[in-house]
Amino acid sequence: MQLLGFDTVDAGTLAESWRFEPESGAYTGIYAASAEGFAADYLADQGAPLPAERLRDVLAVSHRADVANRQF
């Protein structure tokens, strides 16, 4: 992965996968080039690099989403 320019980040066990599910801190929004542009048109957003250390920080403080009250 590092040869391709990517860092690997251990996001925890399967039981901790809620840290990067929809509505959690480490879901798609942190990879956006701009929060406003992403909110307006996520398909047009080019994205931006996210340092591995920043992802670790976000995972550490992520809060569990209230999935029982999700509306689709």
Q: pLDDT tens digits for 10-64?
A: 999 999 999 998 888 888 889 999 989 999 999 999 999 999 999 999 999 998 8
Question: Would 21 be classed as within a structural domain?
Answer: yes
Q: What pTM did the predictor assign?
A: 0.76
The amino acid occupying position 5 is: G
Handedness of CA 42, 29, 35, 23 (dihedral sign): positive
* Distance separating alpha carbons of residues 38 and 32, to the nearest angstrom: 6
Provide the pLDDT for residue 43: 94
Total count of domains within the chain? 1
Residue at 1 is within a domain: no
- Would residue 3 count as lying in a domain? no
pLDDT confidence of residue 23: 85
Full residue range of the structural domain in which residue 57 is found:
8-65
Q: Is residue 49 part of a domain?
A: yes
